[in-house]
Amino acid sequence: MPRAALTRTGTPLDDLAWQAVATRDPSARGRFVIGVVTTAIYCAPGCPARLPGRANIRRFEDWRAAEAAGFRACLRCRPKAEAADLTGAAVVRDAVAAIEAAEAPPTLEALATRAGYSPFHFLRLFKAQTGLTPRAYAEAVRARRLAEAVAEGAGVAEAAFAAGYGSLRGAYAAAGGITPGRARRGGAGETITAAFAESPFGPLLVGATARGVCFLGFAEPREALLADLRRRFPNATIVTDDAALAAHLAAVLAFIDRPRAGLALPLDLQGTAFQKRVWDALRRIPPGETRTYSEVAAALGRPDAVRAVATACARNPVSLAVPCHRVVGKDGGLHGYRWGLPRKRALLEAEAGGGD
């Protein structure tokens, strides 16, 4: 298409959009694309290519509008692929919300129909985004509901059927063999000291019993982190004392700053026997290396327990100290990190040498 025709398409950038393009603001990606009339190429706002003159830029709502106007996608920032990734993430978020809201696990066919995909393509998309199948994710949701209900004092049968299990046998299997009495205690008779600090990842909370660190969380508001600790140990006495855990906080902050050095803390890990085996295996993964869920399962002599390994990683109460960020999907992709994939990526890059 001639340049004169291109200049008549799209809209000129307003001051806010131009500022986002000029500063390569990453938060603008996905909100619009820009077409450069001198090259007939469209880009994402944060494209690393040489910045064109403002007069030569036209704004489009999405890649479809840009291509309809005669522009072609940039090969450096790949705005069309990014849009597809964003769309896929939105589809999976909607499916996850549907699973969380359902009383019984939705079928693959029902979720695929809701998303407008074939079951085959929806399954691939869901696994790429979460590292789990929809069925495995739904089972994890049921197991969590069961554990929370028992910890709050519900009877085992009542909690099992409320969580969607058809039998007590299935409920006990999902709980990994935890006895109802142990789950119901929820930290009763224990005192947990909680301490806060500010980290490069945002607020940091460390919780410790007399035996060692039992909780480590970050990147959320302090109230949310403390609520997470209380949910995990609903019957424990929790006291806040930043000074009492100053050494632990300093060790965690040093690890975040230089994760290749490793993180050694006394730990009080409370979980099933299998979960503890998984967490121990994660601690043996050297900084700078990763393992897939299937590799961890094989190392434990349980190659059929990939789903159980993923569940143990998701329930890891002491992230960083037990480095679940070193576990990746079968395709090498980063999936399912409790504290956000950008932080998982930052940790892995720093451990691989990018933090030196």
Domains of the chain with bracketed CATH: 3-77 (3.40.10.10), 79-185 (1.10.10.60), 191-258 (3.30.160.70), 273-354 (1.10.10.10)
Which pLDDT score is estimated for 16?
84
What mean pLDDT do residues 62-71 have?
Answer: 89
**Amino acid, res. 215:** F
| pLDDT band, very low/low/confident/very high, at 163 (cuts 50, 70, 90) | low
What mean pLDDT do residues 318-341 have?
Answer: 85
Beta bridge partners, 205, equal 196, 217
Percent of the chain with pLDDT over 70: 79
Burial 176-213 (b: 16+ CB within 10 A, else e): bebebeebbbbbeebebbbbbbebebebbbbbbbeeeb
Q: Between the ranges 38-52, 87-101, 342-356, where is the mean pLDDT highest? A: 38-52
The pLDDT of residue 48 is above 80? no
The pLDDT of residue 262 is above 80? no
| pLDDT band, very low/low/confident/very high, at 245 (cuts 50, 70, 90) | very high
Contacts of 85 (CB under 8 A, 6+ apart): none
The pLDDT of residue 303 is above 50? yes
CB atoms within 10 A of CB 266: 12
CA 121/CA 115 separation, integer angstroms: 10
What mean pLDDT do residues 326-348 have?
Answer: 84
| pLDDT band, very low/low/confident/very high, at 183 (cuts 50, 70, 90) | very low
Q: Which residues are catalytic?
A: 43, 324
What value does the mean pLDDT of the chain take? Answer: 80
The pLDDT of residue 354 is above 90? no
Length of the chain: 356
What mean pLDDT do residues 174-178 have?
Answer: 46
The lowest-confidence range among 58-72, 125-139, 280-294 is 125-139
